[in-house]
Amino acid sequence: MRVLEGRLDKVLVAGLAGGFIAISVWWAQTDDRVPNGDNAKHTLHAFSYLDQFQLGHWLFGILHWTHYPPLVHVVGALGAWVGGTTGDAVVITENVVFVPLLALGCYGAGTVAFGRLAGVLAVVFVLAAPMIISLFHVFMLDGPGAAVAAVSVWFLLASRRFQSLPWTLAAACAAAAGMYVKATFIFFVAGLALALLARGGWRAWRHAVVGGGLFLLLAQPWYFAHLQDLRGLTTGAIQAQPALWYGSVPYPDRWSLENLTWYWWSLVNTQLYLPLVAFFLVGTVYLAVKWLRDRHTDSYVPELIVGALFAYLAISVLSLDDPRYILPGIVYVALLGTGWIASLPQTAKIFAVGVLGTVFLVNTLLVNYVRGEVTSRIALPGTKPSPIGERSFTVFSNRGYIEGHPQPGGVAPLFVDLLRRAREDGARRVVFQPESLNNDGYSLDALAVFARYAGLEVPGFDWRALAPNDIYVFRIARTQANRPACLNSLDTTGIYMVKGQPKAGKPIYCPPTAR
């Protein structure tokens, strides 16, 4: 305990973050699967930003509409500028920038609220979360959103209910940065800020007003520039008609119990798994009862509970649910799930720390390394076979969300090599057939990323834009072709090409192998 609470606590936090990043780097360089659609989409956005930055268009992120605020894409673009236009470069940059912020934010917030031991344990908790582990294997917005939320919560707590103007201004800057990650970021700081105001922050109302003004000043440029686009997006997000979920099953009605518990089951079965949920539940009850007994005015327990509850209810109102959407709220879960340990008797404290450390090791090993299907789940009567496993409790699993262990030997490097050889043979553009290459593990966004790796331009789906030396790529069953495929897929299909525009009778073309 002395190591966790003494001078080495910051060294331990740095080591945890560094080890996490090292595993992510290894994972990115080992995995050969085709990127999933969202991962590829955000990678393409980062490459688009890079193109514009290299042309000197530094305000492209503010002025251009991509449905998403620009911060994470800007970070990815800068990483690609340094490391090259590869998926590894953007994923590694995302880890190098945002994992330290996530660890620092949780450590700082835990230290302010419960002491240095709780700060270290909050870092262990958040880096043990299976969804955090998985999402930093890919280039997406939710992991960075959790990192900026953690820093924002730290700064808000450190402001001592807005008594400290410097910390209040820092919190405003951090929260504004979060608004450049995702528009829903406000859900994860608004409840905490309001609770801080209600529990004494109103006495420092001038500081709160200045901080709020700075937040609006910094956050508004992108939102003001895209006000009309955002109106349509907001209308769609809160529409009354539920969208389809999996198969033909719709999302639950907004005000139904099923919807209000949707993210609970997601928490248990995709984001944390049962052991970390147990830490969270025990900690929340323990800290709430303890506060109700002594009512210490310097306790931040009420604010943390309100912040977590506000975020949960706000994100539940959206008509489209996704386990990732609530991830920025994990800072509250980590703080409430570990803050109580610091006040336990020494023997109980050592036991709790040991259990948490074991969960950290098990989740890290399972999600990053273990192959095959390794899942332990407690199923209750009425369990539904849905993506969030309603009415069941996942104890441990190596599935990850959205990616588990790396898959070497996939088609990704072979596909990139195929396109690169076509470019060396004279191709400058490529069009991918949408009917055959946007399903069964392939996505058009992922293939556009591969084309970028190979130095080929993708003019949308318009094959009429292809010159005679350009290529048209499609996928069919290998038994349908009269010659071997240019690349065998992992199933019974193959990747084929023709040169120029795809017209009847054109021979199959496969670029020559490298000399």
Could you write out the three-class secondary structure of 357-422?
Answer: HHHHHHHHHHHHCCCCCCEEEEECCCCCCCCCCCCEEEEEECCCCCCCCCCCCCCHHHHHHHHHHH
Q: How far apart are CA 68 and CA 79, in angstroms?
A: 19
Q: Looking at the structure, do residues 424 and 276 belong to the same domain, yes or no?
A: no
Three-state SS for 477?
Answer: strand
Q: How far apart are CA 311 and CA 301, in angstroms?
A: 16
Q: Looking at the structure, do residues 451 and 316 belong to the same domain, yes or no?
A: no
Asked if residue 243 is part of any domain, the answer here is: no
Asked if residue 37 is part of any domain, the answer here is: no
Taking a C-beta distance cutoff of 8 angstroms, is the pair 339, 118 a contact?
A: yes
Q: How far apart are CA 349 and CA 249, in angstroms?
A: 45
Asked if residue 458 is part of any domain, the answer here is: yes
Look at residue 4 in the predicted model and tell me its pLDDT: 64
Within 10 A of 33 (CB to CB), how many other CB atoms are there?
Answer: 16
Taking a C-beta distance cutoff of 8 angstroms, is the pair 106, 150 a contact?
A: yes
Q: How far apart are CA 270 and CA 293, in angstroms?
A: 35
Asked if residue 188 is part of any domain, the answer here is: yes
Tokens representing 101? 């912020």
Asked if residue 470 is part of any domain, the answer here is: yes
Q: Looking at the structure, do residues 83 and 128 belong to the same domain, yes or no?
A: yes
Q: How far apart are CA 172 and CA 219, in angstroms?
A: 9
Q: Looking at the structure, do residues 447 and 372 belong to the same domain, yes or no?
A: no
Question: What is the phi-psi region of residue 397: left when phi exceeds 0, alpha when psi lies from -120 to 50, beta otherwise?
Answer: beta
Asked if residue 245 is part of any domain, the answer here is: no
Quote the Cα angle for 294-299-301, to 5°.
100
Query: End-to-end alpha-carbon separation of the chain, Å?
Result: 61
Taking a C-beta distance cutoff of 8 angstroms, is the pair 497, 472 a contact?
A: yes
Q: Looking at the structure, do residues 364 and 450 belong to the same domain, yes or no?
A: no
As for how many domains the chain has, the answer is 2
Q: Looking at the structure, do residues 298 and 432 belong to the same domain, yes or no?
A: no
- What's 68's DSSP letter? S
Q: Looking at the structure, do residues 377 and 461 belong to the same domain, yes or no?
A: no
Q: Looking at the structure, do residues 425 and 348 belong to the same domain, yes or no?
A: no
Query: What is the extent of the structural domain holding 274?
Result: 2-31+42-237+268-397
Q: Looking at the structure, do residues 17 and 88 belong to the same domain, yes or no?
A: yes
Within 10 A of 329 (CB to CB), how many other CB atoms are there?
Answer: 27
Asked if residue 104 is part of any domain, the answer here is: yes
Taking a C-beta distance cutoff of 8 angstroms, is the pair 107, 120 a contact?
A: yes
- Mean pLDDT in each 10-residue stretch from start to end of the chain (515 residues)? 72 97 96 92 96 94 92 97 89 98 99 97 98 97 98 99 98 98 97 98 98 97 90 67 68 87 96 98 98 93 98 92 95 99 96 98 96 91 85 93 88 95 96 94 94 94 93 94 90 94 90 79
- What's 513's DSSP letter? P
Continuous segment of H or E residues that includes residue 428 = none
Taking a C-beta distance cutoff of 8 angstroms, is the pair 429, 457 a contact?
A: yes
Taking alpha carbons only, the member of 118, 77, 117, 112 closest to residue 94 is: 77
Asked if residue 347 is part of any domain, the answer here is: yes
- What's 496's DSSP letter? E
Within 10 A of 297 (CB to CB), how many other CB atoms are there?
Answer: 8
Three-state SS for 176?
Answer: helix
Calculate the alpha carbon distances from 300 to 158, 336, 398, 512 in Å: 11, 10, 35, 66
Look at residue 5 in the predicted model and tell me its pLDDT: 64
Look at residue 229 in the predicted model and tell me its pLDDT: 83
Q: Looking at the structure, do residues 384 and 431 belong to the same domain, yes or no?
A: no
Beta bridge partners of 497: 473
CA torsion sign for 319, 324, 325, 330 is positive
Reported pTM = 0.94
Q: How far apart are CA 290 and CA 491, in angstroms?
A: 58
Q: Looking at the structure, do residues 346 and 455 belong to the same domain, yes or no?
A: no
Q: Looking at the structure, do residues 133 and 233 belong to the same domain, yes or no?
A: yes
Taking alpha carbons only, the member of 465, 467, 443 closest to residue 41 is: 443
Work out the burial of residue 418: count CB atoms within 10 Å of its CB; fewer than 13 is exposed, 13-18 middle, 19 or more buried: buried
- What's 508's DSSP letter? P
